[in-house]
Amino acid sequence: MLSYLNISLLMNITFQLPVTLYDTNTLRINVPCPDNYPDTEFKQRIKGIGLVAYIECTYDTERNTVFITEWYVFTKTVEVASELDKTITKGLGKKMVYDLLRHVVDHGLITEQATMILHAKGGRYTEECKQMVALLSDEELNSFLQEYPGDSALIHDSDDKKKTYCMINDNAKLVTYYKTYGLEAIHGEKGTDIKMSGSVREVLYSCKNK
């Protein structure tokens, strides 16, 4: 299945979203960078891979479950991405998820009653957070990390503590974002790796209508 998404009508930038069989029970969408994408610093940075985004899932027909194993829209993860880059790719994430789920449902691999599962674990150690966490005392930092023993139990180095602090807080934003897809955290909403799930029907509805 080959789908298209024209996000920026003014610039007539069209993204192609082909669903391909990547491996047994594994599907993938690679979104190549369009030829007429503006020559931004972001475009230069991703030139090596040539992709603006990609998503990958595995499905279990017997258990009626689909797992999102990899999912990146690089304008959300590459720090040099400008507001123009983010505007051009706005809506691409939901379009990718919708096309992927629609494919597995339409081909009878799962049903709309299936469960979709993913892990929110894309928290970043950004320059902004580096500056903020530098203002915290060791006591404040340790007090915060004590609330997340699973993420900090083996961390003793000050720099690693600061990095973990930033990743937990940044990952919380990702959890909030995934909620707009109709997903909910299974065990707590803050940490470096949060398991989330939702019904495929709800995710399809959220991607198409929100």
Extents of the domains making up the chain: 2-111
Each residue's pLDDT, cut to its tens digit, for the chain (210 residues) gives: 455 555 544 457 888 888 998 878 999 999 999 988 999 999 999 999 999 999 999 999 999 999 999 999 999 888 899 999 998 998 899 999 999 999 999 999 999 999 999 999 878 888 888 888 888 888 898 888 888 877 765 577 888 888 888 888 888 888 999 999 999 999 888 888 899 999 999 999 999 876
Q: Which contacts qualify for 31-35: CB closer than 8 Å, 24 or more apart?
A: 31/92, 31/96
In DSSP terms, which residues pair with 72 in a beta bridge? Answer: 54
pLDDT for res 187? 85
Would you state the pLDDT for residue 111? 97
Query: Per the structure block, which two tokens stand in for 166?
Result: 């930033």
Query: Mean pLDDT of all residues in the chain?
Result: 88
What is the distance between the alpha carbons of residues 92 and 94, in angstroms, rounded to a whole number? 6
Determine phi and psi for 5, rounding to 5 degrees. -140, 115
CA distance 66 to 210: 21
Contact 193, 114 (CB under 8 A): no
Which pLDDT score is estimated for 152? 66
pLDDT digit string (tens) for 148-201? Answer: 877 765 577 888 888 888 888 888 888 999 999 999 999 888 888 899 999 999
Give the pLDDT confidence score for residue 106 in this predicted structure.
95
How much is the pLDDT for 153? 59
